Amino acid sequence: MSETRNCARVKPTSDTPRSEPIIKLQVIAETWRCRAYLAFWGMCLFAITVTNVIVAPKLKEGPTAYGMPEGSTCGPFNRPWKDESPNPVGILPGQGFDVKTQTHLSERFGFPNICTNWDYTPAREMTAVYYPLFEYSLIVYLCLDFVVTMLARKRGEIGPRFYTWSKILFPVNVFLCTMFRMIFVFLAYEATAMHTMGFLCLQTALVLVAIQNTLFVLFTKQGYDVVGGVKNTQIAAKVYLTLLLIVSSMKVSATIYIVMHGKGAPWTLVPSFYKGEPVGWLVDKVWMLFNAVIPLLIAWVRSKNEGTIHITITEDEPKYMTTKDGSTVAEMQPLKNAV
């Protein structure tokens, strides 16, 4: 026979300092959005610094800088031959290369982008350690923003369709944000498609977050003095949303093409009006402006004007050990007997 007893704890004595078992927190959702985007740019700056100081000289020197025989085609020095490369950059297997213009992604995409700064050892590993600061900040924002949406729905500020859309989008965005870590798992020079898939997930998440945030401003008819009141805020939001959708559709479709075909879409390689740079390069820069720079400014303005979320945390009173005669020796009362 074994006896199953209720889990309990010793009740504190009267001389033990006690306070009300409630924790109260005050947070502003848009403040966490600011932190997330600042963490993203901090990650980029960190990766660029490590790449320029440590990685670039070693890649330029070639395989010997990594302790490999001269002409070795292992790791980052493995390349397709010129007649096999979608966009030849003049580098043959086993040769050193310039990290700014001759990376594997530059060869695949037809132009460099910010991702190349964390593609090679040790920048990849060091940036992967930093990355959770961005990921967790963004996920905390997503959770708080959904709470703001729920409260707005209870106040009647948004309709049922937008609220339903928000409930669907919330877990999707959380999943997409966590999948960005694929860029550290799948190497750019070994699994370009899967590596790019990680960046595609983040692109999609940032676009959806920007759309969600802007629609919330529109549907709740918000106005900010820095923009010129309600009317100007609504106009600015509509203009931003329109341009965001245009540039994001181009950027996301270009990234999907790379994932599916392993090379840049033909239209992205056409020279643009800006110094003859490829159209894809220009779209990439404009996309960053609309999804990583302007949202930071919007989040900063909204964080100074949005209401505070009050979070109260408590729990049921725990079960304390009982005694027969009130002595200091506690005895738990059996709930049931089990064979």
How far is the C-alpha of 332 from the C-alpha of 320, rounded, in Å? Answer: 8
Q: Which bin fits 228, alpha (ψ -120 to 50), beta or left (φ > 0)?
A: left
Q: Indicate the pLDDT class of residue 315, thresholds 50, 70 and 90.
A: confident
Predicted confidence at residue 11, as pLDDT, reads 66
* Mean pLDDT computed over 168-180: 95
* Mean pLDDT computed over 144-167: 95
How far is the C-alpha of 174 from the C-alpha of 162, rounded, in Å? Answer: 18
Task: For residue range 132-144, list pLDDT tens digits in order.
Answer: 999 999 999 999 9
- pLDDT tops 60 at residue 172: yes
Q: Indicate the pLDDT class of residue 192, thresholds 50, 70 and 90.
A: confident
How far is the C-alpha of 120 from the C-alpha of 122, rounded, in Å? Answer: 6
Task: For residue range 262-290, list pLDDT tens digits in order.
Answer: 888 999 999 999 889 999 999 999 999 99
Amino acid in position 18? R
- pLDDT tops 60 at residue 97: yes
Predicted confidence at residue 320, as pLDDT, reads 67
Choose from 64-68, 166-170, 226-230, 275-279 the range with maximum mean pLDDT.
166-170
How far is the C-alpha of 78 from the C-alpha of 95, rounded, in Å? Answer: 9
26: three-class secondary structure by DSSP: strand
Residues counted in the chain: 339
The strand pair at 334-338 and 23-27 is best described as unpaired
- Tokens describing residue 131: 């990355």
Which residues are CB-neighbours of 221 under 8 A, at least 6 positions away? 230, 234
Predicted confidence at residue 143, as pLDDT, reads 96
Q: Which bin fits 134, alpha (ψ -120 to 50), beta or left (φ > 0)?
A: alpha
- Tokens describing residue 322: 């009982």
Task: For residue range 241-266, list pLDDT tens digits in order.
Answer: 999 999 999 999 999 999 998 888 99
How far is the C-alpha of 169 from the C-alpha of 47, rounded, in Å? Answer: 30
How far is the C-alpha of 264 from the C-alpha of 255, rounded, in Å? Answer: 8
Which residues are CB-neighbours of 237 under 8 A, at least 6 positions away? 214, 217, 218
Which residues are CB-neighbours of 91 under 8 A, at least 6 positions away? 79, 97, 102, 107
- pLDDT tops 60 at residue 335: no
- pLDDT tops 50 at residue 223: yes
